[in-house]
Structure formats: structure tokens, C-alpha cells
Structure 1
Amino acid sequence: MSLTDLIPGIAQAKLVGLGLVAALWIGSVAYPYYEWKHTVSVDAAQHAKDAAALDAAQQQIASDKAAFTQAEALGAAQAASIQAGVAQAQTIRVVTTQKAAAVMAASTPDVETARQLAVSTAQQFSGWDKQ
């Protein structure tokens, strides 16, 4: 075998070696690019999920605020109704006490006994609305 016979083999080996080096270099450049591209797409998908979850949470908060405002208004209306009912009950109590005292006084000929009946009747009826 002569040196010229070896040269094509050496050249071929160099080409194979260069091809292998080139393939390794391309792989080392291509994989990080693939990994970066994959990471970007995963990040974009996660961002979309997070944005959708945030939108849903904001809608729920708005709905809860509306329900709370409505409940507040209803509570205020009920409180006003209760206060009106208490005022009406107090008026009824006063009128009933006065009527009972008047009936007792009118049915008793003795003035002192009538006064005592009126006082005791008023005492019986006082405070019934607080029980």
C-alpha cells in the first residue's frame, strides 16, 4: 500500500469525522432551540390557563359583590320593616293599655278602686312586647 492509497482513506476518515463533528454541533445547537421553543409553547399554554382562571375568579368576585350588595339592601329593608312593626306594636300596647284602664275605670263606681285598677292594668300590659 502506498501513501496515495492511504490518502483517499484518510480523506474519507476526515470527512466522516467532520460529518460526525458537524452532526454533533448541529445537534448541540438544535436541541436547545427545540427545548426553548417547547418551553415557550408550554409557557404560553400555562399563561392562557392562568388568564382564564383569573378571568373566572374576577367574574366570581363581581358576582359575589353583587349578591352581597343585594343582601345588604334586603337586610336594610327587613330592618326598616322590623322597626316599623315594633313602632306599631308599641302604639297598640299604649292604646290597649289606655282602653283597658278606661274600661276598668268605667266599670268601677269607686274612683280610688278605678285608679288602682287602671294602674295595675297598665303594669300588667307594660313590657309585654319586650318578652
Structure 2
Amino acid sequence: MIKNNGRSVVKSTLLVSALLIVLSGGFFAVGEQEGIAVLTGTMLSCVFVISSAWVFDTFRETKTSTFIKIFFFSTAIRFLLVLILFGILLGVTKIDEIYFTVSFIISYLCQSVTEMILINKILQKSGS
């Protein structure tokens, strides 16, 4: 069981996501197609990372073995959903594939690292 010390991973993740979405809007200066592609890629990664934070916040009070099962199962489901959405967006829409893919990867990595740092801080505080 991970003790809840009042920090919400979802709230922190939403702040980082909002910042990345605002920054991705700057790509509209490059061009409309590029801006749409970057914004879409960033938003897709935000959905994935925010849902991960929600699972962490919702189930962190459960027994550790149960939490691990739920967290990894939800990660697999979210991964499949992201792959499906990724494929649909690239296959059906006319967005710039390079801008979309690179923005998704960069945004996802940035948010994942931020989320892991926050979770590590929570785990360190709950262990002491």
C-alpha cells in the first residue's frame, strides 16, 4: 500500500499536459498542418499519461500486489488503445505524419519522466 500524502499525480500531470499543449500551439506559426499534427500528437500522449496517473491515484491505497496487477494490466490496455488511435489518426486523417509522430514521442517521454519523478518522490515520502 502506498500512503496518500495528499499529492495528486493527476493534478501534477494535468499541469504538465496543459503546458505542453500550450507550447505545441506555437507550431501553428510554422503552418496549419504542422500545428494540427503537433497538437494532436501532444494531446494523444496527454490522454495516455493522464490515464496512467489516474490509475495510480485511484488504486494506490490497495494492497501492493493488487496495485501492481491493476497498474500493469491497465498499461497494456492503454498501450493497445494508443496504438489503435495512432493508426487511425495516421490512416484516416491527412495530418503531417512526421510532426505528429515526433510530437507524440517527445511529449510522451517528457510527461512520463515528470510522472516518474513525482511518483518516486511520493514513494520516498511514504517509505519514511
TM range (shorter): 0.3 to 0.5
**Bigger RCO (CA 8 Å, 6+ sep):** 2
Going by fraction, where is helix more abundant, 1 or 2?
1
What's the TM-score once normalised by structure 1's chain length?
0.34
The structure with the larger Rg is 1
- Give me the TM-score of the superposition, normalised by structure 2: 0.35
